[in-house]
Structure 1
């Protein structure tokens, strides 16, 4: 599976994302553009050729603009997103297209009042465990929560939970580390 090497949105990517967000909001296409943009990024992450086209300086701006216009046309994604991708390509910002989606996604979640949370566990959670954590978090934050889960076997057991800049580390690995530190001080 191919993936862009850049995942962090630059300031330029954030500005483009904000412009797209505001335009989509003004035209009443916010949900459609959000879904189209997610679909485009998934397509890019799954296609080595598309990732190379976006990231490689070996292609001229004109080649990128023409190729991306064709990709957008054949993909059936919306006109607003197609125009946005075309503008970014014309302005030499193809490497920022994928990272801009995460900035757009943040704006979309904020507009909807959704809190983002990431839970890391040593093994995959069951549907019931995930639902229970989502329910607890929704009550704690007083609103909708979008939960992303990650598996990290080095945690040994327990969970790590991040909401915004807050981290709750209830993993066995962290408990062992705290115990080790306490024993060294004794």
Structure 2
């Protein structure tokens, strides 16, 4: 538990430093875009996740890999230098936490709320527009939606805003019914 707290603290410190540098340079959005791209790359590639978090690879190797990835992906120079610094300080494993903390700082700075919408099938543009409108009304702020498909929920939606989760998935409803029937 204490290790998790320390890891969060480290991630938040690095994210704040990056955010402040990006703010001074007027490149908050560019860096955020790079970090979102990197987050997607980490989610899509088990090999990249392993390379970033594994103690088997040296800090130098991690740095070379991340900087090469940043150059190939045409990341902002500030992002590339930050990735090099993060690995040089042997903090590459904190990268997912840094990305999450940077996103929170960005949201607080811009006044935009991030929301994740999970559905069993891809949502149409009209459906996403309706969800965004409903969230805007409920939250009193513009939401930035990240839609994800998870067939295991069977149907319905899960909407997560910050630490709050609205779960109207068919799977959860069936699990609740199954539990109620066992108790009867």
TM-score after normalising by structure 1 = 0.76
Which residue pairs with 1:150 in the alignment? 148
Matches within 5 A, 1:4-83: 10-44=8-42, 50-83=48-81
Q: Are 1:170 and 2:177 matched, yes or no?
A: no
Structure of larger gyration radius:
1
SS at match of 2:35: helix
The structure in which a higher percent of residues are helix is 2
Aligned CA RMSD, in angstroms, stands at: 2.9
TM-score after normalising by structure 2 = 0.77
CA shift digits 1:88-129 (9 cap, x unpaired): 111111222243112212211221111122223232222211
Alignment CA distance shift 1:106-1:185 (3 Å)? same
SS at match of 1:143: coil
Structure 2 stretches of 5 or more lacking a match?
Answer: 1-6
Separation in structure 2 between the aligned mates of residue 67 and residue 78 of structure 1, nearest angstrom: 16
Give, in angstroms, the shift of residue 185 of structure 1: 6.7
Alignment CA distance shift 1:153-1:35 (3 Å)? closer
RCO higher in structure (CA 8 A, sep ≥6): 1
Structure 1 stretches of 5 or more lacking a match?
Answer: 1-8
Give, in angstroms, the shift of residue 81 of structure 1: 1.4
